[in-house]
């Protein structure tokens, strides 16, 4: 049997840190969130522009006068639009995280 020292009133487990290395709730994170939302809006706007540039309607007139309409898709433009849409989604999720960290209340220490 191993005899381990037992904690006394002065020794608590786990030991409390004197000061955290970095605080999570910092008000300047709200400005970071605002910047991310603005960049996400620009990325989404560019995604719509790329999507519309990636789809072109081609109209051909046949010999008998019938008009044939078809669509031509450009994969690079569509892939860029999808990538920018995904980037905008990630930026919005991170902006929500930053905003929650900016307004999050600090934990109060309870005195026993």
**Rounded CA separation 17/12 (Å):** 11
Domain edges within the chain: 47-103
**Rounded CA separation 45/84 (Å):** 9
pLDDT band at 27 (very low <50, low <70, confident <90, very high): confident
pLDDT at residue 107 in the model: 60
The rounded Cα 44 to chain-centroid distance in angstroms is: 13
**Rounded CA separation 4/97 (Å):** 44
- Mean confidence (pLDDT) of the chain: 85
pLDDT band at 108 (very low <50, low <70, confident <90, very high): low
User: Is the pLDDT at 71 greater than 60, yes or no?
Assistant: yes
52 HSE (CA, 13 A, CB side): 5
**Residues 14 and 73: beta-carbon distance below 8 Å:** no
Averaged over 29-56, what is the pLDDT?
Answer: 96
**Tokens standing for 105?**
């209340």
DSSP 8-state code for residue 20: -
pLDDT band at 2 (very low <50, low <70, confident <90, very high): confident
Considering the chain, what percentage of its residues have pLDDT values greater than 90? 60
């Amino acid at each position: 049997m191993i005899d381990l020292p037992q904690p006394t009133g002065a020794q608590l487990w786990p030991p409390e840190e004197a000061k955290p290395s970095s605080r999570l709730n910092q008000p300047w994170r709200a400005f970071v969130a605002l910047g991310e939302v603005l960049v996400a809006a620009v990325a989404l706007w560019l995604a719509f522009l790329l999507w519309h540039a990636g789809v072109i309607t081609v109209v051909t007139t046949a010999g008998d006068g019938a008009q044939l309409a078809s669509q031509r898709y450009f994969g690079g433009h569509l892939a860029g639009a999808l990538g920018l849409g995904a980037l905008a989604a990630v930026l919005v999720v991170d902006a929500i995280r930053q905003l929650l960290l900016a307004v999050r209340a600090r934990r109060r220490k309870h005195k026993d």
